[in-house]
Structure 1
C-alpha cells in the first residue's frame, strides 16, 4: 500500500466504495439489500446478502485460499469460494500471518517544513523551564492503591465554588491507581508504574502536584521521587499517611498543601506560541469499517501538517499495527529505528502467546459489528492516523518523548492505558477517532474525539467534537478534512473546552499499564 492510495481525496458517491484498483472487496457506503444491483463504474454487482454500512462486499469471485485485499493490503484469506456480491467478513475470511519485507527506510521522504516565522501558533501556557501546556491543573497522585481514597477526598474538597478565586486553574484532579504494592520490585512493571506517575507529575499541563503514599508499600514515595529525578518544592509536595497521622489528617494536610499552591498556579497566562510545542497522542477506539476511510486518514493528514509546523505526533497501540508494521518500518529514518519497532512486535508475540488477545487476531464486538473482520484489517486503518512523514523514533511505554516529528510509543490497544502512556510521555492533547462512538476523556491533556461517520456523529453529538463523516458525504476531501482537524486542534490547545471536558470526563481514565504478577 502506498501513501497515495491511502490519501486518495475523492470517493465517488456510489453505494459501494472502491479503495484501490487492485482490491477484490468493496465497502458498503450504506446498508445494502439482497438482490440489489449496483453499478460500480466498470460493471454491476448483484448483492447476494444483506450487508450493513461499513462492511465488505466481494467485488468479484474470490477463490478459496486467495488473499483478500483492501487498500491493496492483505487482510486475510478466503476460507471458501466467495461469489461476487457476497458479504465478506469473519465468517468467510481467516487471519493467516505471512512474512512482510520491512524494507527499512524505503519510503522516507523529506518533510517540507514550514519556515519558523510562518508557523501556525496557539495560545499556550509557558512554564518557567520552557515547556508549554494546553491546560493548567493541580494533580494529586497515589503511590499505591491504599492512598487512592485520600487523594480523591482531597480533590473533592476543591469544588468550583472554592476554586472561583483561581480562574486560571482548570481544576484539582486525583490520579488514583490500583497498584503500587503486591508487585515484583525491581521489575519492568515497577519501572513502568514509576515512570508513568513521574511523567504526569512533571507534565506541562500541571501547575502543581501532591504525591501521597501509605508508608509500607513497595512503591515508596521517597524512592519514587529519587528514582525519577523529581524535585519537591513549593509546587510539588509529598506526604505519607502513616507519618502524617492517618486518613483524616492526611486529607487535611493535602487540602492545605493544594491551597498553598493555588495562588502560584493561578499566576499563568496564555500567550502565542508556535505549533511546534504541540505533542499529540493518536488514539482510536470503537473503530468501524469507515474509520480507515475517513477519520484515521484525515487525522493522519492533520498530523502531516503538524509535523511540517515542527510538532510531534505520537502513534501507539502496538497490537493495532500488527500486520501492517512494514508500513512504518518503510518510513523509519534509520534501520535501527525500524528494528526497534519490530523488536516491540516480537515482544508482544511472546507476551500474548497462547492467549485469546487482540494481537492474535480477535477484535472486539463493536469492531466486528462495524465491519472489521480481524486485527490486520483494524491495524490497516489504525496505522493511518500517523500520516505519511518519516518515523523518527520508537519509545517504550511512558518514556519521555524528546524527538519532534512522527514517533511511535509502545502500548496496549486498550484506550485508557494507551492514552495514559502517551500523556506520561508528554502528549499535551489526545486526538481520538471512533466509528462506533467512544465516550472517552482524559486529564490533564484533553481529548478531541473525531467520528468516522455522520450518522454516529449526529446520534452522539454531545460527545463528538469533529465529524469526519463529511468525507463520506462528499463535502470534503481527506486533505481538506485534515486541515479542518489541524485548525480545531489549535483552538482546543488554546483553551476551548472539548466535549469530553464539558461532560466532566477524565477523572477515572488514569490507567497505568499493569504487566506483572500480583502476589
Structure 2
C-alpha cells in the first residue's frame, strides 16, 4: 500500500484512513503533518483542521455533516461528535458539456453475444417467467415450479442434503446434540442434475410476491407496471401469468402496462384465470402445458453479435463501507462513462442515497424539465420519510456506520460516484422504462433488493453491485455482478464476490484501469461466457416497492 490515508477532494477537511492508524501517530499528506489524538480504524475519517461546534465537515467537496462540539485536528469523526447535514439545492444553469474518457473510442466497436428481440432490444440472457398477478396464486406457482424445474434440468444442486442426511443418521444412531454440533460440514462435488432440456434457455423464473390485492389501488397499478417491465424485458423470452380473477391487479391492467412499454409486443404470453378455469388441476395442467409449448418456441433463439450500445447496466450498492466511495463506486462510475460514450445506457437509482449531491446531479440534467423532475422527486421522497418520523438522515445502517459511513450525506456522496461524470439524459419515476441512451436517474429506495428489482424492471440487462461488507443480492433475470471495495472481503467471501477493487486502495491499480477491467468482465457476462456468483448460487431476489417509505 503506497499511502496510509487519502483525501478524496481538495476542499475536504477530513482524510480517510486506508489502514488502521494509532493514537500518537504522525500522518503526512501533501507536505503537511497531522498528529492523531485517537485511534483511527481503516475506512474512518479524521479531521485535518479545527472545526468549531456547528461547523461544516466537508468530504467529496460537499457538506456531509456538522460538528456537535469543537473538534481539534486529528480526531475521528463519529456519530457522537457530528450530525448529518447536506447542502441546499436549486434550479440553476445546467452544465452538460462532458469530457469523454480518453480510451472511449476503442470501446465503440466492441460487441457481445446476445439474444436479439423483435423490438430491437438485445438480452444478455434468455429466461421464461411464471408470474402470479396476486399472492393468492403463489402456491400454484410453487406447484408448477416443483413440476418443471428438475424435470427440465433447471433444479439447483442439492448441496446440503447429504449433510442433513448425515446428521439424521447420527441422531438415529443415538448421538446427542453436542456431538451433532461438533460435526463439520464437508463440501463434496455435487451434481448439478440433468443437462437442461432447452440449450438456449437459461432457466424458468418464478416471481412470487405479496401484492396484487389489498392495500391501495395504486399499489396494484404499480405492481402491474413492474411486472410488465419484466415481461417486456430483453432478457425474457415469454411468460405464463396466473390470475385468480377478483384481485385489484386485473389482467387488463397488466396488458395496458405491457402496451405502454412495448406497443408491438409479440412474445409468447399465456394468461390463465383460476376462477374461470375452475379446478386447481385444470389450472396447473394448462399452465404447465402452455409453458412447455412456449419454451419450445423460445429455444429457437440463439445468441448473435450486438454492439455494446445495446447494453443497459444498473448501478447498485449494498452493505457499503468507508471504501465504497473511493474504490468500487468510482470504478464502476468510469465503466459507466465508457459505456455511455459507446452509446449504451446506465441506471443510477437509490434516491435516499443521493442526498447531498442533488445540486451536482440536477446541474448535469440535459433539460430543465428533467432537473425539476429530479429535484421534486427528491423533495417529495424526503418529505414523506420525515412525515413518517424518518428522513434521509436515517439511511445509514449500523453496518455502514461501523465501517465509516457516519452520515447519509457521506454515504450518498460516495454512492453517487457510481454514476460517473456523464450528463443525465433522463429522469424516471418508478417503475418507468429506460428509453434513452446515457445516464438515467431512477427513483427507488436505497434498499438493495427493492432497488435492484426496480432497475431490472426498468430495463437493466446487467447490474453492477458494489459492496464493502458483503451481500448476496441477486435478481431472477439479470446477472448481478458483485464487486468488493476491499481485498479482505474478496478473500473472505469468494463465493459471492466476482470482482475485487481493493486493488485501488492498495495502490496496485487506478480507478480508470479498474473501470476498463470491469467493462471487459461485463462483456463476457453479457455474452454468457461467465456465470456470476449470484446466478450460480440461485440468488433470485425479487421485492416490488409499494411506493411507501423505504430507505
For normalisation by structure 1, the TM-score amounts to: 0.92
Give CA deviations for 1:58-117 in whole Å, capped at 9, x if unaligned.
Answer: 123222121111122110111111122211122111123442354341353265796799
1:139 matched to 2:129: yes
Structure 2 match to 1:66: 55
Whether contact under 8 Å (2:27, 2:33) holds in the other structure is yes
The structure-2 alpha-carbon separation of the partners of 1:247 and 1:45, relative to structure 1 and needing over 3 Å to count, comes to farther
1:515 matched to 2:504: no
**Shift of residue 381, structure 1, vs aligned partner:** 0.7
Distance in 2, matches of 1:89 and 1:44, equals 22
Structure 2 match to 1:168: 200
Q: How does 1:170-209 map to 2 (within 5 A)?
A: 170-185=202-217, 187=218, 189-209=219-239
Distance in 1, matches of 2:12 and 2:327, equals 18
Distance in 2, matches of 1:158 and 1:337, equals 45
Determine which of 79, 92, 102 is the counterpart of 1:90.
Answer: 79
The structure-2 alpha-carbon separation of the partners of 1:25 and 1:383, relative to structure 1 and needing over 3 Å to count, comes to same
Distance in 2, matches of 1:32 and 1:293, equals 18
Q: Secondary structure at the match of 1:198?
A: helix
1:345 matched to 2:405: no
Q: How does 1:160-309 map to 2 (within 5 A)?
A: 160-163=150-153, 164-185=196-217, 187=218, 189-229=219-259, 235-309=268-342
Q: How does 1:472-487 map to 2 (within 5 A)?
A: 472-487=505-520
Between 1:160-169 and 1:448-457, the stretch displaced more is: 160-169
1:125 matched to 2:126: no
Distance in 2, matches of 1:422 and 1:309, equals 20
The structure-2 alpha-carbon separation of the partners of 1:22 and 1:233, relative to structure 1 and needing over 3 Å to count, comes to closer
Supply the RMSD in Å over aligned alpha carbons: 2.1
Determine which of 58, 64, 81 is the counterpart of 1:75.
Answer: 64
Distance in 2, matches of 1:399 and 1:473, equals 40
Determine which of 492, 498, 503 is the counterpart of 2:532.
Answer: 498
Give CA deviations for 1:289-328 in whole Å, capped at 9, x if unaligned.
Answer: 1000000101000000000111001001111101111111
Give CA deviations for 1:212-256 in whole Å, capped at 9, x if unaligned.
Answer: 011221112243224542789771100012222243432222211
Whether contact under 8 Å (2:108, 2:308) holds in the other structure is no
The structure-2 alpha-carbon separation of the partners of 1:515 and 1:407, relative to structure 1 and needing over 3 Å to count, comes to closer
Structure 1 match to 2:399: 366
Give CA deviations for 1:329-377 in whole Å, capped at 9, x if unaligned.
Answer: 1111122211110010121122212334362344111110110011111
Structure 1 match to 2:408: 375
Q: How does 1:16-31 map to 2 (within 5 A)?
A: 16-31=5-20
Whether contact under 8 Å (1:184, 1:516) holds in the other structure is no
Distance in 1, matches of 2:487 and 2:96, equals 33
The structure-2 alpha-carbon separation of the partners of 1:331 and 1:427, relative to structure 1 and needing over 3 Å to count, comes to same
Whether contact under 8 Å (2:127, 2:205) holds in the other structure is yes
Whether contact under 8 Å (2:63, 2:86) holds in the other structure is no
Gaps of 5+ in 2: 154-195
Structure 2 match to 1:4: none
For normalisation by structure 2, the TM-score amounts to: 0.87
Distance in 2, matches of 1:175 and 1:92, equals 45
Distance in 2, matches of 1:440 and 1:263, equals 31
Whether contact under 8 Å (2:232, 2:258) holds in the other structure is no
Distance in 2, matches of 1:154 and 1:265, equals 18
Structure 2 match to 1:32: 21
Structure 1 match to 2:463: 430
Whether contact under 8 Å (1:183, 1:516) holds in the other structure is no
Determine which of 487, 492, 495 is the counterpart of 1:454.
Answer: 487
Between 1:382-391 and 1:88-97, the stretch displaced more is: 88-97
Size of the aligned set, in residue pairs, is 502
**Shift of residue 45, structure 1, vs aligned partner:** 2.2
Structure 2 match to 1:6: none
Larger radius of gyration: 2
Gaps of 5+ in 1: 1-11
